[in-house]
Structure 1
Amino acid sequence: MSRRPTRWWTSMRTTPSAAARAAGGGAPPARRADALRNRTLLLRVADELLASAGTSVSFDQIAKRAGVGVGTVYRHFPTREDLFGTVIVAGMRRLTLQARALATAEDPRAAFFRFFYQMVEQTVINKALCEAFDSTSDPRFAPDQRSAAAFDAALDVLSSRAKAVGALRTDMTVAEIRLLAVGAAVTARERQTTDFSWRIVTLIAGALRPDETLEPLPPPAVTKQPDPPADRNETESRDSARCALCGRPISARATGRPARYCGAACRQQAHRHRASARRAIATAPVSVAAAADAPVRSRHATGPQEKTS
Structure 2
Amino acid sequence: MFTTRFAPSPTGRLHKGHAFSALTAWSAAKATGGQFVLRIEDIDPTRCRPEHEAAILEDLAWLGLDWETPVRRQSDHLADYAAVIEALRARDLLYRCFRTRKEILDHIGNAPHGASEAVRPGPHPADEEARLLEGGQPFAWRLSLDRARDALGEAAWTGLHFIELGAGPNGETGVLPVRPDAAGDVVLARKDTGVAYHLAVTHDDALQGVDHVIRGEDLFEATHVQSLLQALMGWPAPVYRHHRLLTGPDGRRYAKRDRSATLAELRTGGLTAEALRAELGFSRAG
In terms of fraction of residues, the more helix-rich structure is 1
Larger Rg: 1
Q: TM-score, normalised by structure 2?
A: 0.19
Report which structure shows greater RCO (CA 8 Å, sep ≥6). Answer: 2
Q: TM-score, normalised by structure 1?
A: 0.18
